[in-house]
Structure 1
Amino acid sequence: MILRKDIIMPFLKPLRCFAFLVTVSLTLLACSGCSLPFQKQESDGAGYLFTVSLPSNPQSLDPQSATDASSKTIITNLYEGLVELDESGTPQLAAAESVNVSADGLIYTFQLKNNRYWYYDANQNDVIDEGESWQVTASDYVYAFQRIFDPQTQSPYTDMFSCLKNASAIQNGQMDCSQIGVNAISDTQLQFSLDQPDTQFLNRLASTAAMPCNESFFLQTKGRYGLDQECVASCGAFYLRLWFYDPYGSDNLIYMRRNSANTEARSVYPANLTFQIKKSSQNTAEDFADGSSDVLATSVYQPQYMESDRYTVTSRRVTTLGLIFNPDNTAFANANIRKGLSMGINRSVIGENSSGDLSPAYGIIPPDVHCNGKSYRELIPETATAYDAAAAVDTFQKGMKELHIESLDSTKILVCSSLMDCENLHDIIQTWQEIFGFYIGIEEVSESDYWKRIANKNYTIAVYGITGSNDNPASVLEQFETDENQFYYSSHTTDSLITGLKNCASSEELQQKCQSLEQAILTEGQFIPIFYKNQYCITRSNNADIGYDPFSGALNFRNAKHFE
């Protein structure tokens, strides 16, 4: 069915009056955490109205532009892509019926399911009226990728899909974005052409950036696509019913309803979703604690939940905490001083008092990152070197002699309060003071102050967390690419090796290249790994099957269930 402009356009207008919005907001908040009796089915956990607090207002609901966790949570529930990743990081078909990959790995041909539909509730009556629903076609995916490579979009995802045919020429201004290697053979057949093989390509297609975009609807939004509720259409499990945000107010929320246009083809369990828009991660934790939110995604260990059978805790060890150094500091710019400090960490004992939140890190890629469906660290074990205080001191003193100095000034390690419990740094600091003879303290700051200090280079040493953008070892190491990290790390060698990760013809080749790149970064010592850390998704025990992506921070409620 063709999208009718005469129906859609009259409703592309500002939100209802403020009084109406406040009324709706209060009504929805009053229903927060409750089930709707006429929709609830006790037997299968369906029909519940889930309520979740977001740490910030989504920056955009445009999949080709959005990068923040709040945006990705909403997008994940609004859209369905060709494939999605299971818990082992293995791509599974979603909106695609099948995929055929050519022998040379350069052509991916998808057969789309013919029962996936867009829905835009133009008259906001929660009923699919004529002209409000139309089929998702291969052209919608073509247009999405053309938008990624359209300079006007300023998409941050061009590098992710640089393997596509003509991508380089388009980025260099030699070709138009319409020449990107994505073509609709028919309404239900889609073909991707690559310039070089990329064993990660299916994983990349599971990202929110690869969600479809309907050209007719996009053009009718006149530059407002994804920026307000009138400029968002859904092709996934839920549709957007209300998006109200006043930066000076407190009753900010997003309200979503089950998208009945697609429920016959694929089940959706919750009836509705309410997202309360907050100002910080601390606010979301407070909401979960007082019962006004059903889910808490956090990096902070929460003993009151972890040690209670009233809660279900899912943990994934996907973050590596390491030490970074101010690039303008002369002493810590010395490679031997940094290497000596790394050697002076007795990793066999650190993290023992963290209740399982932390484990010692000898490498950069954490244990719960997968490659070809298996833990990368099982395929490529990290090298655990024995602690040798004498060797550490010798290396450290060598650096001091190179700088012609006899001692280092006392300093403090900058730590973000929401990142980790600082108590777990004391073992490291105590050992350093004993063997190197200089004082190091801890300076704990808020998340906002932390990022300001990092950006302004207002620190000497800091604890920094590395998490990949998706469940793949390459995405972890890609965080070290020049201009892609926030701690001013830059290395021509690293950049060259990262480029090589993007044209691997097999998972074995990817593993080998990741191993070489990880070792190269470790050798430079500009990032010293100390801990592998958990990310957590916490729910009450009567909730089940809430999807959580610890890499993007997105929550997926398609299969979420609630039992009394």
Structure 2
Amino acid sequence: MKHPFRLTAAFLTVLLLLALTGCGSGSNSFTWFVDTIPANLDPQVASTASDVIACENLYSGLVRKDPDGEIEPALCERWERSADGRTYTFYLKDGLTYTAAKGTAAEYAITAEDFVFAFRRMFRADTNSPYAVEFSALENSAEVLAGQMPESALGVSASGPLTLVFRLNSADENFLSKLTLPGAMPCDEEFFNSTRGTYGLTAKTTLSSGPFYLYNWTSSGLFLRREPSGTLIDSLRLVQNTNNADQSAVELVNGEKCSAALDDTGSTTSLSSISYSDTTWALLFNCSTLFSSTELRQSLAGVAREAAVVPSTGLFAAADGLIPDGLNVDGMNYRSTVGNVSPAAVDVRALYLSARQGMANSDFNKVTLMIPAGSGLTEAAETINGAWQKELSLFFSIEEVDEETFQKRLSEGDYTIALAPISAESDSVYSMLAQFTTAGGNLTGYANALYATQLEASTHATGAARCRLLGECERQLLSDCVAVPLFSQQKRLLVASGIKGLIFDPFGPVLDLTYTTKE
């Protein structure tokens, strides 16, 4: 077991005084509204958006991404990669220590053994770490996770206090990028054991290895600090928007209630912004109804794609696929890797006539197009419905229901056709596609053995191979017209004037203030 780095009493006193000097209100603060106050700062298990964002600023790992997206050393000085891409050797900086709450210097040194312990925790079944799948390329990782091999067999080891070695079963071109995830942050084994199951759950049982330290943690919010340095942000507040819920993102930022806010209204503003999309609006056909016919779905989908007009209100754009742009798989941009998955044009009339064989007009009497009220897509739905009437002589009604009812009926399969939002809430292409399987809730009652097999196979692949399998699933889903992507709902991050160097990725989620300045 590693022995903690012991500071002399005099030196500890000096460091404590220096730390407390910077504990007053920082001159350059940043406020971010979260849905829930961070509850778990254990980096190996942090999964909610607020917990992850807190961990990104509280901890540093071997490497970190700079504002340009380039990988640079963080706690390491340098690294080496073997010619076959299966071995990575990192050389840590000397003299690194953790920081306790209020900026107090901790007695624990950061060494290679802390990373070994962190990764072994990740692959303990009882840890239930969401990051284990990201590092499945590590040697013997599957066997260790299943309890078939001891933790010591995992492909991570320390060949010295400052030398860390990773061994992979196969090359992973995005391994360095994955090392920026919270799960790859160091964890001191002696300190972890001393917390007796409360690691990362209280201020006293949390140690920082990153740019910020934990200053205060209450039911009101999580407050991080670092020593003031020029124009760098030195205070990060993660709080809930309890008093200004009726204000728009523009009003919140301009009124200095927060430093940045998410917006989907498209309101005119002079604030700088970062645009993205995490939601695709798609027609869903309930395959448990008369739309079990693939030809019928394909004919209606063909008409809908031709008729769909991007709404003029709100931030909408034509969808390129079901999966929004910007999502990554193993650090690779999914859409760029997979390419176009849109189905080829079809003879909608011929497909429709073929599908109608043996069907009566009365079969369509109860078909409705369900949409959530207030979505801004009523006109688009009416246009599509009108095209079905014109091209196929099908007369459906549009049913607008409140959001709660819409979600309930969608989950229960109580609809025939729905124009629904499919969101990437967990930054996972797999999770979006899994919604069309029994295990994932099956939004549409879709049953396709090949689809299920390929989706399952993707969980055992990495890199380009995993992208390819997921891409085949998306292509199959769109070809069978179970889901017909029409519009991507654009969103944007509005940022207060004078703030620069903010690293933001809605899909991580990432809100990293390491390099952020405020002028």
TM-score (normalised: structure 1): 0.74
**Does 2:376 correspond to 1:421?**
yes
Segment of structure 1 superposing worse, 533-542 or 367-376: 367-376
Of 236, 245, 255, the match for 1:291: 255
**Does 2:304 correspond to 1:341?**
no
How far apart are 1:153 and its partner, in Å?
1.2
Query: Contact 1:163–1:502 (CA<8 Å) still a contact in 2?
Result: no
Of 52, 73, 88, the match for 2:32: 52
Q: Distance in 2 between matches of 1:541 and 1:467?
A: 29
In structure 2, the residue matched to 1:191 is: 165
How far apart are 1:485 and its partner, in Å?
4.3
Of 489, 494, 498, the match for 1:538: 494
Q: Distance in 1 between matches of 2:123 and 2:264?
A: 40
How far apart are 1:74 and its partner, in Å?
1.0
Q: Distance in 2 between matches of 1:323 and 1:93?
A: 46
Of 82, 86, 93, the match for 2:62: 82
Gaps of 5+ in 1: 8-35, 41-46, 246-251
How far apart are 1:487 and its partner, in Å?
4.3
Q: Distance in 2 between matches of 1:55 and 1:73?
A: 12
**Does 2:266 correspond to 1:308?**
no
How far apart are 1:408 and its partner, in Å?
5.1
Q: Distance in 2 between matches of 1:140 and 1:373?
A: 24
Q: Secondary structure at the match of 2:4?
A: coil
Q: Distance in 2 between matches of 1:79 and 1:559?
A: 14
Query: Which residue identity lines up with residue 331 of structure 1 in the other structure?
Result: L
Gaps of 5+ in 2: 10-21
Query: Which residue identity lines up with residue 114 of structure 1 in the other structure?
Result: D
Matches within 5 A, 1:428-439: 428-436=384-392, 437-439=394-396
Q: Distance in 2 between matches of 1:435 and 1:55?
A: 45
Q: Distance in 2 between matches of 1:154 and 1:477?
A: 18
Query: Which residue identity lines up with residue 360 of structure 1 in the other structure?
Result: A
In structure 2, the residue matched to 1:322 is: 282
Query: Contact 1:52–1:293 (CA<8 Å) still a contact in 2?
Result: no
Query: Contact 1:433–1:440 (CA<8 Å) still a contact in 2?
Result: no
**Does 2:226 correspond to 1:258?**
yes
Q: Secondary structure at the match of 2:297?
A: helix
Query: Contact 2:41–2:51 (CA<8 Å) still a contact in 1?
Result: yes
Query: Contact 1:198–1:504 (CA<8 Å) still a contact in 2?
Result: no
Query: Which residue identity lines up with residue 226 of structure 2 in the other structure?
Result: R
Matches within 5 A, 1:60-71: 60-71=40-51
Segment of structure 1 superposing worse, 432-441 or 478-487: 478-487
How far apart are 1:217 and its partner, in Å?
2.1
In structure 2, the residue matched to 1:223 is: 197
Matches within 5 A, 1:460-475: 460=416, 461-467=418-424, 475=428
Q: Distance in 1 between matches of 2:149 and 2:141?
A: 9
Q: Distance in 1 between matches of 2:143 and 2:471?
A: 30
Q: Secondary structure at the match of 1:230?
A: coil
Q: Distance in 2 between matches of 1:490 and 1:86?
A: 44
- Per-residue CA deviations over 1:226-271 (Å, capped at 9, x if unaligned) read 22323221111111222212xxxxxx211111168xx8xxx99112
How far apart are 1:79 and its partner, in Å?
1.1
Q: Secondary structure at the match of 1:313?
A: strand
Change (3 A) 1:394 1:49: same
In structure 2, the residue matched to 1:15 is: none
Aligned length: 495
Q: Distance in 2 between matches of 1:137 and 1:37?
A: 27
Query: Which residue identity lines up with residue 204 of structure 1 in the other structure?
Result: K
How far apart are 1:78 and its partner, in Å?
0.8
In structure 2, the residue matched to 1:113 is: 93
How far apart are 1:189 and its partner, in Å?
1.9
Query: Contact 2:62–2:75 (CA<8 Å) still a contact in 1?
Result: yes
Q: Secondary structure at the match of 1:531?
A: strand
Matches within 5 A, 1:352-391: 353-354=312-313, 357-369=315-327, 377=335, 381-382=339-340, 391=347
In structure 1, the residue matched to 2:13 is: none
Matches within 5 A, 1:471-482: 475-477=428-430, 479-481=432-434
**Does 2:55 correspond to 1:96?**
no
Q: Distance in 2 between matches of 1:344 and 1:223?
A: 58
In structure 2, the residue matched to 1:27 is: none
Q: Distance in 2 between matches of 1:403 and 1:116?
A: 74
Q: Distance in 2 between matches of 1:136 and 1:301?
A: 42
Q: Distance in 2 between matches of 1:74 and 1:197?
A: 31
**Does 2:251 correspond to 1:271?**
no
Query: How much is the aligned-residue C-alpha RMSD, in angstroms?
Result: 4.0
Q: Secondary structure at the match of 1:196?
A: coil
Query: Contact 2:458–2:470 (CA<8 Å) still a contact in 1?
Result: yes
Query: Contact 1:62–1:227 (CA<8 Å) still a contact in 2?
Result: yes
Query: Which residue identity lines up with residue 562 of structure 1 in the other structure?
Result: K
Q: Distance in 2 between matches of 1:280 and 1:349?
A: 40
How far apart are 1:556 and its partner, in Å?
1.8
In structure 2, the residue matched to 1:523 is: 479
Query: Which residue identity lines up with residue 75 of structure 1 in the other structure?
Result: C
Query: Contact 2:29–2:234 (CA<8 Å) still a contact in 1?
Result: yes
**Does 2:138 correspond to 1:138?**
no
Q: Distance in 1 between matches of 2:243 and 2:135?
A: 32
Q: Distance in 2 between matches of 1:476 and 1:90?
A: 23
Query: Which residue identity lines up with residue 316 of structure 1 in the other structure?
Result: Y
How far apart are 1:177 and its partner, in Å?
3.7
Of 389, 400, 407, the match for 2:364: 407
- Per-residue CA deviations over 1:184-204 (Å, capped at 9, x if unaligned) read 222222222222333333333
Query: Contact 1:323–1:462 (CA<8 Å) still a contact in 2?
Result: yes
Change (3 A) 1:362 1:205: same
Q: Distance in 2 between matches of 1:528 and 1:280?
A: 40
Matches within 5 A, 1:124-273: 124=102, 126-128=103-105, 132-245=106-219, 252-258=220-226, 269-273=232-236
In structure 1, the residue matched to 2:18 is: none
Query: Which residue identity lines up with residue 330 of structure 1 in the other structure?
Result: T
Change (3 A) 1:516 1:237: same
Q: Distance in 1 between matches of 2:406 and 2:462?
A: 40
